[in-house]
C-alpha cells in the first residue's frame, strides 16, 4: 500500500466519510465519535495533553496551541512512533498544573486503576482547564488482555466527579438501532479479518457495507433507545480552588 493510500485509509478509519462506508467495518461507531469530538473540540485550547494518543486522529479537531501526545511505554506504542512522551502507566511525567486542556479518547477502558489515572489527569491540568473524554459502554473485548471495564453514563459521571472534576457536557453516541448493527458487524469482522489490508477492505465492502447502510436507515426511521448506545462523551473541567 502506497503512502497516500495508507494516509487515506487511516483517515477513513477514524474520521470516515462516504468512502469509509466501504472500507471501515467500524464506520457507525467511529462516525459517531468523530461528530461529537468535532463538535466539542473548540473547548480544548492552549497547551494540550493527549493521553493515550495512539495515531493522534483528532489532533486537528481541537483548538490547542501546543500539543503533547502521551502513550504507555510498550513495544507497540514505540513502533507507532506518534507519541511525544512515554510513561510507565502510573504517574504522568509532567508537573502539577502544566496543561490547559486534556484529550483522552477510548483509553479509560484499558486502565486497571481508573481513579488513580483520572487523579493524575486532575493533577497535571490547570484550574479551569477542560478535559474531553470518550469511553465505550457497549463494545466487545478488544486489545486483549488490556481491556478491563465498560462504563454506563452514571458510572463514568460518578467516577469523574469523585476525581475532582465538574461535568459541563455529557452525551451518548449512537443511541439507536445502529448500535446493535455495529455489534453484529464487529462480530463478522472478527470472524473474517485477515493479515492483508486489501483483502479486509474487499470483505468490508462486500459483507459489511450493506449492513452499515441498512443500519443507518433503520436507525433513522425507528425510535431511539437512550439506554442502549455505543460510547460516552464527556467534557469536564477542573474547578478553581
Q: What's the pLDDT tens digit per position in 188-206?
A: 999 999 999 999 999 999 9
Mean pLDDT for the stretch of residues 119-139: 98
* Confidence band of 5 (pLDDT split at 50, 70, 90): confident
Q: What is the mean pLDDT of residues 3-12?
A: 85
List the Cα angle 200/27/54 in 5-degree steps. Answer: 80
Q: How far apart are the first and last CA of the chain?
A: 52
Neighbour order of strands in the sheet with 99-105: 85-87, 63-72, 45-51, 99-105, 125-136, 231-237, 166-173
Q: For residue 80, what pLDDT is reported?
A: 82
pLDDT surpassing 70 at residue 1:
no
Grid-cell match 510513561, residue found = 87
b/e per residue 159-183 (b: at least 16 CB within 10 A): bbeebebeeeeebbbbbbbbbbbbb
Record the cell numbers describing residue 9, joined without a space: 485509509
To the nearest whole number, what is the mean pLDDT of the chain? 95
As given in the structure block, the three cell numbers for residue 88 are 510507565
Return the SS3 of 36.
Answer: helix
Residues 146-187 pLDDT 10s: 999 999 999 999 999 999 999 999 999 999 999 999 999 999
The C-alpha cell 483509553 sits at: 107
Which string of DSSP letters, residue by residue, matches 50-115? Answer: EET-TT-TTGGGSEEEEEEEEEE--HHHHHH---SEEE-SSS-SS-TT-EEEEEEES-GGG-SSHH
| Residue 85 Cα to chain centre, angstroms | 19
Q: How far is CA 16 from CA 21, 87, 92, 157, 217, in A?
A: 7, 30, 32, 28, 17
Taking the C-alpha atoms of residue 52 and residue 18, their distance in angstroms, rounded to an integer, is 28
Residue 58 has pLDDT above 70, yes or no: yes
CA of residue 112 relative to chain centroid, distance: 17
> Could you tell me the three cell numbers for 240?
478553581
Residues 6+ positions from 73 with CB-CB distance below 8 Å: 86, 87, 88, 89
Q: Looking at residue 82, what is its pLDDT?
A: 87
Residues 9-39: tens digit of each pLDDT: 989 999 999 999 999 999 999 999 999 999 9
Show the domains of the chain with their CATH numbers. Answer: 3-237 (3.40.50.150)
- With CA atoms as reference, report the closest residue to 33 among 100, 99, 101, 104: 104
pLDDT at 7: 85
Share of the chain above pLDDT 90, in %: 90
In angstroms, the CA 31 to CA 112 distance is 27
Amino acid at each position: 500500500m502506497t503512502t497516500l493510500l495508507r494516509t487515506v485509509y487511516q483517515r477513513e478509519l477514524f474520521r470516515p466519510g462516504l468512502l469509509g462506508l466501504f472500507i471501515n467495518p467500524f464506520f457507525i461507531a467511529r462516525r459517531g465519535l468523530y461528530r461529537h469530538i468535532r463538535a466539542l473540540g473548540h473547548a480544548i485550547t492552549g497547551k494540550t495533553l493527549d493521553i493515550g494518543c495512539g495515531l493522534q486522529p483528532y489532533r486537528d479537531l481541537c483548538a490547542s496551541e501546543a500539543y503533547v501526545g502521551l502513550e504507555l511505554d510498550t513495544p507497540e506504542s514505540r513502533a507507532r512512533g506518534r507519541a511525544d512522551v512515554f510513561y510507565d502507566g502510573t504517574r504522568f511525567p509532567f508537573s502539577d498544573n502544566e496543561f490547559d486542556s486534556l484529550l483522552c479518547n477510548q483509553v479509560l477502558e484499558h486502565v486497571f486503576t481508573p481513579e488513580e489515572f483520572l487523579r493524575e489527569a486532575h493533577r497535571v491540568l490547570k484550574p479551569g482547564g477542560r478535559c474531553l473524554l470518550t469511553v465505550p459502554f457497549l463494545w466487545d473485548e478488544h486489545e486483549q488482555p488490556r481491556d478491563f471495564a465498560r462504563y454506563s453514563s452514571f458510572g463514568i459521571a460518578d467516577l469523574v466527579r469523585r476525581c475532582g472534576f465538574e461535568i459541563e457536557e455529557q452525551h451518548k453516541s449512537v443511541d439507536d438501532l445502529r448500535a446493535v448493527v455495529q455489534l453484529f458487524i464487529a462480530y463478522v469482522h472478527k470472524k473474517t479479518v485477515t493479515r492483508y489490508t486489501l483483502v479486509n477492505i474487499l470483505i468490508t465492502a462486500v459483507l459489511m457495507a450493506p449492513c452499515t447502510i441498512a443500519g443507518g436507515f433503520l436507525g433513522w426511521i425507528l425510535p431511539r433507545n437512550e439506554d442502549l448506545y455505543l460510547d460516552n462523551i464527556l467534557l469536564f473541567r477542573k474547578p478553581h480552588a
